[in-house]
Each structure stands twice: as structure tokens, then as C-alpha cells.
Amino acid sequence: MGEGVRAACVIGWPVRHSRSPLIHNYWIKQYNLEADYRREEIAPETFTDFLAHLSERGYVGANITIPHKEAALAMSEPDDRARAVGASNTLWYYNGRLCSTNTDVEGFTANLDAAVPGWDKHAGDAVVLGAGGSARGIVYGLIERGIGKIHVVNRTPERAAALQARFGQAVQPANEAALPHLLTRTGLLVNTTSLGMTGQPPLVIDLEPLPQQALVADLVYAPLETPLLAAARARGLVTADGLGMLLHQAVRGFQLWFGVRPDVTRQLRTLVETDLVK
Ligand code: NAP
């Protein structure tokens, strides 16, 4: 690598599973940049030291994955999104200061924008299944886009209540038993649980009560077509999958590090799809 090479990395423990190098190195080639994107497998006990010397290690920024997102938030200057979500997944330097954001928020909404432009103008209520780490980003993104009522259904009700405490009255914790009724006035249903993921039980939910114009989104991307998305498509509903979100969330970091806003293309999607089924 020559002197002028700008490098970024994904830091995690483990990090082998990350598709970020595939995505960013595809764009680097596509835009013919003098740049590189690497994996850094960093144990929790050495993360603080690693991040404190990120630029000395030759990096202009980084993605952060499990289990370091909260520590990255604490060690950087987070924007409103990262602070609200309580986790940072993208870091960059601005005037020598290490800044951070959480790009899951825009990854999710940009993926919906691509699936149904204007979805937020007549979305009605939203139902979010799950109240874990990713649900915080989804709820924040929905509030940012003006969705007035977000019903959160979670196995552990206390976590849904915690989302309401964090984000206010737009969030309404609800029981699973209320779902059939809630779905009748839902414009957007989002699965943020790990149900439906390879090796996990499927998410079993009757989509019949949903209005015909409802949009169904799943964060799970392995398998690409989850049982939830398959059921939604069988009912003729529009869907947005987890891979779309994963690709869109990568855009901002690439732009911040390398100065080019990259496109999420059909070709990139196919590349990652092929890797996911390996
Ligand atoms: P998390 O913080 O561990 O939360 C997991 C959620 O799933 C919790 O709400 C949990 O309920 C629920 N859950 C787990 N097992 C369950 C079961 N057997 N029955 C009912 N509910 C169950 O995980 P996360 O970070 O939010 O991630 C969730 C999923 O989103 C994962 O599949 C992840 O890969 C995916 N994801 C995708 C993207 C993307 O870019 N596409 C980004 C982030 C995450 P309890 O609270 O009751 O435990």
C-alpha cells in the first residue's frame, strides 16, 4: 500500500462474520480509490487502547460492531442519533476529534425510502416487534420521520416500557394478544427480534389483519427471505429486507472516510447475497 492510501476498518470481537469489508472494498474498487478497508479483531480488554490510537494505526475512521458499540460511544463525541440509541457504530475524525454516529437509523429509513418512496407520508401507526439494541435505532428513526404512534411488542415487557421511558409517549408498549387489533391500523410492521434468523425459531404472526397498503420490514438478513417476509409477499404486501438496511447503513461511513457518497446498487446486493449463502 502506498503513502496516499486512506484506510478504515471494522472493529469487533469476533469480526470474521462481518460483511463490511466486502461492501466497502467493493465501493473502493468501483470508485477507483487509493483506499483500503480491513477487519480488526480486538478483545474487550484491549479495545480502549486500540481506539485511543486509531489514527496512529493509520485509520481515518472505523465501523464498530459487537461488543464494542457502547464503549465506542463513551470514547467519542457522539451525534444525537448515537446518543439517543446509546451505541455508536461509525467513527471518523473531524478537526482531530473522534466523532461518532449510529448509521442503523438511516440504514433502516433509507431502505424503506428505496422500497416505497414517501412511505412516511401515510404510514399510520407502526408496530415494532422486539425491544433490544436494534429496536432503539428503529424507534428513533421512526420518530425522526414523524411517525406519531409506535406500538412495541416484546417478549420481555419491561424492555418495551424502557423504550417508552427513553423516547416518550410516541412509544406505546403492547401485549402480543393486542396484535390482531393493532395490525388493522398499522401502516408499517417491523421485526427487530432475532426470530426468523437461521438457527432461531420462526416468527409466527398472522398478517391477515394488516391493511393492503401496509409495508413489512425485517432486520434479519440470514436467511434473506425470512418466514415473515415470505408470508407478507404471499399476501401481496410490499416488503423491505434486512440486507437492504445493512447496505444502506454503510453509505455514510464510506462518505465520511473517503469523500464519495456511494450507491447501493443491484450488483453490490448480488455480491453480498452470494456471500451470505456460501
Ligand atoms: P438484541 O439486542 O439481542 O435483541 C433481541 C430481541 O429479540 C429482543 O427484543 C428479544 O426479546 C427478542 N427475542 C430473542 N429471542 C426471542 C424469542 N425466542 N422469542 C421472542 N423474542 C425473542 O438483538 P439486536 O441487536 O436488536 O438484533 C436483533 C436482530 O436484528 C438480529 O437478527 C440482528 O442480526 C438484526 N440486525 C440487523 C441489522 C441490519 O442491518 N439488517 C442491524 C442490526 C440488527 P427479549 O427482550 O425478551 O429478550
- Contacts of residue 49, defined as CB under 8 A and 6 or more positions apart, other chains included, come to none
> Model pTM?
0.95
> For residue 78, which of 38, 132, 137 has the smallest C-alpha distance?
137
- How many angstroms separate the alpha carbon of residue 191 from the centre of ligand 1? 8
Mutational test site, ligand 1, from 63, 69, 106, 134, max ligand atoms within 8 Å of CB: 134
Question: In the 8-state DSSP scheme, what is residue 122?
Answer: G
- Ordered structural domains, the chain, with CATH: 6-103+250-276 (3.40.50.10860), 115-243 (3.40.50.720)
Question: Among the atoms of ligand 1, which is closest to the Cα of residue 134?
Answer: 26
Residue 3, pLDDT score: 60
Rounded to whole angstroms, the Cα distance separating 277 from 184 reads 35
Cell of 190: 417491523
> For residue 198, which of 173, 183, 178, 218 has the smallest C-alpha distance?
218
- How many angstroms separate the alpha carbon of residue 180 from the centre of ligand 1? 22
| Per-residue tens of pLDDT for the chain, all 278 residues | 456 799 999 999 999 999 999 999 999 999 999 999 999 999 999 999 999 999 999 999 999 999 999 999 999 999 999 999 999 999 999 999 999 999 999 999 999 999 999 999 877 899 999 999 899 999 999 999 999 999 999 999 999 999 999 999 999 999 999 999 999 999 999 999 999 999 999 999 999 999 999 999 999 999 999 999 999 999 999 999 999 999 999 999 999 999 999 999 999 999 999 999 88
